[in-house]
A = this chain, B = another copy of it.
Amino acid sequence: MEKFELHILGCGSALPTTRHFATSQVVNLREKLFMIDCGEGAQMQLRKSRLKFSRLNHIFISHLHGDHCFGLLGLISTFGLLGRTADLHIHSPRGLEELFAPMLDFFCKKLTYQVFFHEFETHEPVLIYEDRSATVTTIPLRHRIPCCGFLFEEKPRPNHIIREMIDFYQVPVYELNRIKNGADYVTPEGEIVANSRLTRPASPVRKYAYCSDTCYREEIIEQIKGVDLLFHEATFAQNEAARAKETFHSTAAQAAEIARAAEVKQLVIGHFSARYENEQILLEEASGIFPVTVLAKENLCISVGNNE
């Protein structure tokens, strides 16, 4: 099956530590790369990941806090030095272009490619990217400023033809597309051959949901129902629940509650507060509620769904 992977470039929160970079990750969906958030150092981490810069054409920024976008200038500038020619699209809540355009005009005067800003509202889901095989939709979150997550979904694929049955019924080639899309076959003699005899269902679509930064927010459960992989912020442990509420962040337990209620297949938690020298406490709190939880860490790569 084609690749669908999540690469963690950075999973710290606002205060960088010697252990974590600011937030950034890359989704590899069938060899197209999509960056989510771009904290300081993202370009260094991207280089370390050995992912191909040239396959990255879209960057999605969740919200306009520095630890989620300060790496943009360096990244854009470096792409220019590397002689990139393909357009680069940056998707974000309103306001990013106004802030960054003057910096780009000054520091990246002779870019060999174009940067396009696409801005969206964050109060309801918006389809912000679509190609032949996938879509990206925003997930409204609740933070101190407008913020949203991102839902990456494969498009349903046509059924697989069972070659032996096609041969057996001598189905003409021009019928094949209809059959892949679910139609039955009618023989020249008028016999109806049910689609289920001619095809096997395609593999189920795979989904990845990114939810950061946000306070505990049950409203997202419906939208992320059953995703193969959920990244949910878990800035704090339970004993800092009041602090989490006050700063519109989540605890590890809250991330796990969301994962359980949404019946996701796997949870990865991140955006760790700098106060945790070791995030084991966060993992324990989350795993107690939702066992299939892993800690994000720099340079971690996780498959989304069944990649075999």
Contact = CB atoms under 8 A, between A and B. Distances in A.
A66 B70 contact: no
A82 B73 CA distance: 24
Nearest to A274: B81
A64 interface: yes
Contact of A41 (B41, B102, B106): B41
B44 A43 contact: no
Contacts of A73: 40, 66, 70
A interface, size bucket: 20 to 34
Contact of A81 (B15, B21, B44, B77): B15
A270 interface: no
A16 B43 contact: yes
B77 A14 contact: yes
Report the copy number of this chain in the oligomer: 2
Nearest to A100: B103
Contacts of A78: 14-16
Name the residue in A64, A78, A95 with the highest tally of chain B Cβ atoms < 10 Å from its Cβ: A78
Interface in A37-55: 40-41, 43-44, 47-48
A236 to B, nearest CB: 15
A177 B78 CA distance: 57
Contacts of A74: 16, 22, 40, 66-67, 70
A14 B81 contact: yes
A145 to B, nearest CB: 10
Interface string A103-124: 1001110000000000000000
Interface of A: 14-18, 21-22, 40-41, 43-44, 47-48, 64-67, 70-71, 73-74, 77-78, 81-82, 95, 99, 102-103, 106-108
16 contacts: A14-B77, A15-B81, A16-B44, A16-B78, A21-B44, A22-B74, A40-B44, A41-B44, A64-B106, A66-B74, A66-B77, A66-B107, A70-B73, A70-B107, A95-B106, A99-B106
